[in-house]
Amino acid sequence: MTAHQLILKQRAELLAVLCGGGSAEPLDCVLDLLLACEVLVWEDYLSIRVLPEEQKAGLCFGKECAVLGKNRPDTATLTLLADRPVLVRKLRDNIDGALNALLTTGCFTIKDCDAVQLPVYTPSQQVRRLLDQVRFKGETAAKTLLQYLEQTETTRPNPEDKENHLSANCLLYQKKLRSSVAAQSHSLSTYGGTGRFSLDDIYTDGLLEVMDGSGETLTLGLEDVVGPLGTLNEDADTVLVSGEAGSGKSTLLQRLHLLWAREALLTNTFLLFPFSCRKLNSEHRELSLKELLFLHCCWPDRGQDEVFQFILDHPNLALFTFDGLDEFKQGFTDEERHCCPTKQVPIPILLFNLLQGTLMKGVMKVATSRPQAVGSSLKHYLRKEVLLKGFSPGGIDCYVKKHHSDPAMARRVIESLQANTVLLSLCHIPVFCWIVTKCHQELLGGQDVIPQTITDVYLLVLQHFFQRKSPQPQGVLGKAWLEEHLDTVLKLGQLALEGLEASCYVFSGYELQRNGLTEQDVSLGFLIYCNDLSVTDCKRYEFLHITLQCFFAALYVVLNRNSDRSAVSRLFQAQYRQLSGLSQRCLGHCIDSSVEEVESHVTETPNLQITAQFVSGLLSQRHHNLLLECCPIAVRERKVKQVVKSLSKGMQRHFKSIPRPVEGEKKSMHAMPSFVWLIKCIYEMQDNSIARDTMAKLDVEHLKLTYCNIGPVECTALAYVLKYLRNPVGLQLDNNSVGDVGAEQLLPCLHICHSLYLRNNNISDEGIRKLLENGMKCESFQKIALFNNNLTDACTQHFALLLKSKQNFLSLRLGNNNITSQGAEQLAEGLSYNQSLQFLGLWGNKIGDRGAEALAAALKNSTTLIWLSLVDNGVGSAGACALAKLISQSKTLEQLWLNKNCISREGVECLIEALKINSSVKEVWLRGNNLSPEEEEELSKQESRLTF
Ligand code: ADP
Among 91-100, 240-249, 775-784, where is mean pLDDT lowest? 91-100
User: pLDDT tens for residues 708-733?
Assistant: 889 999 999 999 999 999 999 999 99
pLDDT at 136 over 50: yes
CB 39 within 8 A of CB 63: yes
Which contacts of 298-306 are long-range, i.e. CB under 8 A and separated by 24 or more positions? 298/176, 298/177, 298/180, 298/533, 300/169, 300/172, 300/173, 300/176, 301/172, 301/173, 301/176, 302/169, 302/172, 303/167, 303/169, 303/170, 303/173, 306/167, 306/169, 306/170
Q: pLDDT above 70 covers what percent of the chain?
A: 87
pLDDT at 337 over 80: yes
- Residue 9, CA distances (Å) to 2, 39, 525, 766, 932 in order: 11, 20, 70, 71, 81
Alpha helices in 790-847, H assignment, sequence order: 796-805, 821-831
* Cβ count within 10 A of residue 947: 14
CB 788 within 8 A of CB 759: yes
Pairwise CA distance, residues 884 & 294, whole Å: 74
User: Nearest residue CA, atom 9 of ligand 1?
Assistant: 248
User: pLDDT tens for residues 889-902?
Assistant: 999 999 999 999 99
Q: What is the pLDDT of residue 120?
A: 66
Q: What pLDDT band is residue 150 in, cutting at 50, 70 and 90?
A: confident
Task: State which CATH number among 3.30.870.10, 3.40.50.300, 2.60.40.10, 3.30.420.10 fits the domain covering 172-391.
Answer: 3.40.50.300
Q: Which of 80, 38, 90, 85 is nearest to 61 (CA)?
A: 38
Q: What is the pLDDT of residue 853?
A: 97
CB 87 within 8 A of CB 127: yes
Question: Which residues share a beta bridge with 651?
Answer: none
pLDDT at 53 over 50: no
Most confident of 55-69, 232-246, 634-648, 745-759: 745-759
Instruction: Specify the CATH number of the domain 812-947.
Output: 3.80.10.10
Give the helix, strand, coil percentages of the chain, each rounded to 5: 55, 10, 35
The mean pLDDT value of the chain amounts to 85
Which of 434, 435, 610, 713 most suits a substitution to test ligand 1, by most atoms within 8 Å of the C-beta? 434
User: Nearest residue CA, atom 20 of ligand 1?
Assistant: 248
pLDDT at 321 over 70: yes
Q: How far is the CA of 437 from the centre of ligand 1 (A)?
A: 13
Q: Is the CB of 545 under 6 A from ligand 1?
A: yes
CB 877 within 8 A of CB 900: no
Q: Is the CB of 250 under 6 A from ligand 1?
A: yes
CA atoms within 13 A on the CB side of 705: 27
Q: How far is the CA of 298 from the centre of ligand 1 (A)?
A: 25
Per-position DSSP letters for 196-215, written without gaps between them: ---HHHH--PPPEEEE-TTS
C-alpha dihedral sign at 757, 760, 762, 768: positive
| Phi, psi (deg, nearest 5) at residue 71 | -65, 145
pLDDT at 645 over 50: yes
Residue 928 CB-density burial (10 A; 0-12 exposed, 13-18 middle, 19+ buried): middle
Q: What pLDDT band is residue 155 in, cutting at 50, 70 and 90?
A: low
If one compares 284 and 477, the residue with the highest pLDDT of the two is: 284
Q: How far is the CA of 274 from the centre of ligand 1 (A)?
A: 17
Among 266-280, 390-404, 433-447, 587-601, where is mean pLDDT lowest? 587-601
Q: Which of 623, 514, 509 is nearest to 559 (CA)?
A: 623
Element containing residue 217 per DSSP (H, E): strand 217-220
- Residue type for position 672: M
pLDDT at 425 over 50: yes
Question: Which residues share a beta bridge with 322?
Answer: 275, 367
User: pLDDT tens for residues 902-947?
Assistant: 999 999 999 999 999 999 999 999 999 999 999 999 999 999 999 9
User: pLDDT tens for residues 214-249?
Assistant: 878 889 999 999 999 999 998 899 999 999 999 999
Q: How far is the CA of 252 from the centre of ligand 1 (A)?
A: 8
pLDDT at 803 over 80: yes
Q: What pLDDT band is residue 69 in, cutting at 50, 70 and 90?
A: very low
**Section 435-451 average pLDDT:** 75
Nearest ligand 1 atom to alpha carbon 202: 25
DSSP state of 820: B
Pairwise CA distance, residues 245 & 264, whole Å: 28
Instruction: Specify the CATH number of the domain 76-152.
Output: 1.10.533
Q: Is the CB of 390 under 6 A from ligand 1?
A: no
Q: What is the pLDDT of residue 700?
A: 85
Cα-based angle 446, 448, 450 (whole degrees, multiple of 5): 70
* Domain boundary assignment for the chain: 3-48, 76-152, 172-391, 392-451, 812-947
Q: How far is the CA of 198 from the centre of ligand 1 (A)?
A: 13
pLDDT at 422 over 60: yes
**Section 300-326 average pLDDT:** 91
Pairwise CA distance, residues 80 & 87, whole Å: 8
**Section 733-745 average pLDDT:** 95
Q: How far is the CA of 250 from the centre of ligand 1 (A)?
A: 7
pLDDT at 585 over 80: no
Q: Is the CB of 901 under 6 A from ligand 1?
A: no
Residue 20 CB-density burial (10 A; 0-12 exposed, 13-18 middle, 19+ buried): exposed
- Residue 268, CA distances (Å) to 171, 364, 510 in order: 14, 11, 43
- Residue type for position 913: E
Nearest ligand 1 atom to alpha carbon 368: 2
DSSP state of 331: P
Q: What is the pLDDT of residue 60?
A: 41
Q: How far is the CA of 441 from the centre of ligand 1 (A)?
A: 21
User: Nearest residue CA, atom 12 of ligand 1?
Assistant: 431
Which of 251, 398, 542, 549 most suits a substitution to test ligand 1, by most atoms within 8 Å of the C-beta? 251
Q: Is the CB of 247 under 6 A from ligand 1?
A: yes
pLDDT at 743 over 80: yes
Q: How far is the CA of 9 from the centre of ligand 1 (A)?
A: 64
Q: How far is the CA of 431 from the centre of ligand 1 (A)?
A: 5
Q: What is the pLDDT of residue 821?
A: 97
| Phi, psi (deg, nearest 5) at residue 735 | 55, 50
If one compares 165 and 294, the residue with the highest pLDDT of the two is: 294
Q: How far is the CA of 129 from the centre of ligand 1 (A)?
A: 32
If one compares 906 and 475, the residue with the highest pLDDT of the two is: 906
Report the predicted TM-score, pTM, of the whole model to 2 decimal places: 0.76
DSSP state of 360: S
Q: Is the CB of 528 under 6 A from ligand 1?
A: no
HEC profile for 60-76? Answer: CCCCCCCCCCCCCCCCH
CA atoms within 13 A on the CB side of 554: 29
Question: Which residues share a beta bridge with 756?
Answer: 731, 784
Report strand pairing: 507-508 vs 382-388.
unpaired
Per-position DSSP letters for 722-761, written without gaps between them: HTT-SS-EEEE--SS--HHHHHHHTGGGGGGEEEEE--SS
pLDDT at 57 over 60: no
Cα diameter, the chain:
105
Q: Is the CB of 243 under 6 A from ligand 1?
A: yes
Q: How far is the CA of 886 from the centre of ligand 1 (A)?
A: 55
Q: Which of 629, 757, 665 is nearest to 704 (CA)?
A: 757
User: pLDDT tens for residues 834-882?
Assistant: 999 999 999 999 999 999 999 999 999 899 999 999 999 999 999 999 9
Q: What is the pLDDT of residue 580?
A: 43
Pairwise CA distance, residues 226 & 319, whole Å: 9
* Cβ count within 10 A of residue 89: 12
Pairwise CA distance, residues 250 & 843, whole Å: 39
Report strand pairing: 540-543 vs 507-508.
antiparallel
Q: Is the CB of 606 under 6 A from ligand 1?
A: no
Per-position DSSP letters for 261-330, written without gaps between them: HTTSS-TT-SEEEEEEHHHHTT--S-B-HHHHHHHHT---SS-HHHHHHHHHH-GGGEEEEEE-GGGSSS
CA 179 to chain centre: 28
Q: What is the pLDDT of residue 162?
A: 47
